[in-house]
Amino acid sequence: MAQTGRLRLGVNIDHVATVRNARGSAWPDPLRAALLAETAGADGITAHLREDRRHIRDGDIEALMAGISIPLNFECAATAEMQAIILRHKPHAVCLVPEKREERTTEGGLDVAGDIARLTDYIAPLRAAGCRVSMFISHDARQIEASAQIGAAVVELHTGLYSDLLAEGHNELAERELDALRKGAELAARLGLEVHAGHGLTYDNVEPIAAIPELAELNIGHFLVGEAIFRGLGPAIEEMRRRMDQGRGPVL
C-alpha cells in the first residue's frame, strides 16, 4: 500500500546535554547539535525540559528558540512552571509527557483519560498562543479518545514497549504491540488527530513503525546521539532518514 505522505523526523537532542552536564562544562553544545541536525535533514528539533533539569536547561531552550530555523517541539510535564515557560517562548509544538523524578526516561504514556478536566484547562492557553499541542500516550483507545476530547491537535504514540520487546527477542509480542500501534494510529487519525510516534527507535526497529500510514512524524533521540559517537551526528541522522524512507515506501 502506498503511504499517505512523507514522514517527518524530529531529532531529540536531550542527550547531547546529558553528556555536557556530566562534566559541568559548556560542551557538547545542544544548539550546535540542533544546527547540525537541521543540515542533515531533520524536520524539527525536540527538547525535553525536565523538572529536575537533568539534561536540557532553561538556557538551552532560549538558545534553541533563537538559533534554529526548523520547528521546536518542546517536551515537558503538565505543570504550572512549564506552562509559564511555554507561554514565554511560544514554541511551534508542545508535547506533554508524564514525568517522575526517579525514572531514567519517559517510561509510560500520559494518563489523559484520568485527567480530562485539568488537561483541558491546561492546554487552552497553549492552543490560544498558537502552539500545536501533543499528548504522549500509549495506543490505548481511551487515551486517544480523551486526547481528542480535550482539544489536542496531535498524539504521539509511545513506541518504548515495542522497541524493548524486539530488543529482548520477544518477536511475537513485539508484532502484537506493533499491531496495537497500527490500530491506535488508525483510530487517532479517524478522530482528526495528527499522529506521531517515538521512544526507543533505532535503525533496526524503525522501518515497521515508519510504514504505519497515518504517522506524520517520528521523534528520535537517544539512539542517534549514541550513534553519533561512531559515525558523527550528521551521518547518523542521514542513515535514520534513509531507513525511515525505506520503511515508508513510495509516498503519494
Residue numbers at the binding site for ligand PXP (CB under 6 A): 12, 14, 48, 75, 95, 97, 105-106, 136, 156, 198-201, 219-223
Percent helix, strand, coil in the chain (nearest 5)? Answer: 50, 15, 35
Question: Is 199 known to be catalytic?
Answer: yes
Q: Which three cell numbers mark 97?
A: 509527557
**Least Å from the CB of residue 136 to ligand PXP:** 4
The catalytic residue among 75, 156, 194, 217 is: 75
Give me the count of residues in the chain. 252
Cα 221 to its chain centre, rounded Å, is 8
Eight-class DSSP state of 114: G
Question: Is 48 known to be catalytic?
Answer: yes
Eight-class DSSP state of 7: P
The one-letter code for the residue type at 11 is V
The catalytic residue among 15, 48, 89, 139 is: 48
Residues 6+ apart with CB under 8 A from 92: 44, 71, 72, 73, 131, 132
**Least Å from the CB of residue 1 to ligand PXP:** 26
User: Rounded to 10 degrees, what is the CA torsion of 35, 49, 14, 70?
Assistant: -30
**Least Å from the CB of residue 67 to ligand PXP:** 20
Nearer to ligand PXP, 144 or 250 (CB): 144
**Least Å from the CB of residue 96 to ligand PXP:** 9
Question: Is 217 known to be catalytic?
Answer: no
Instruction: State the CB neighbour count (10 A cutoff) for residue 127.
Output: 15
Nearer to ligand PXP, 201 or 211 (CB): 201
Nearer to ligand PXP, 35 or 197 (CB): 197
Nearer to ligand PXP, 91 or 200 (CB): 200
Nearer to ligand PXP, 48 or 243 (CB): 48
Q: Look at residues 57, 52, 59, 58 and name the one whose alpha carbon lies nearest to residue 104.
A: 52
The catalytic residue among 156, 158, 199, 214 is: 199
Cα–Cα dist 13/224, whole Å = 9
Cα–Cα dist 175/163, whole Å = 10
- Active-site positions read 48, 75, 199
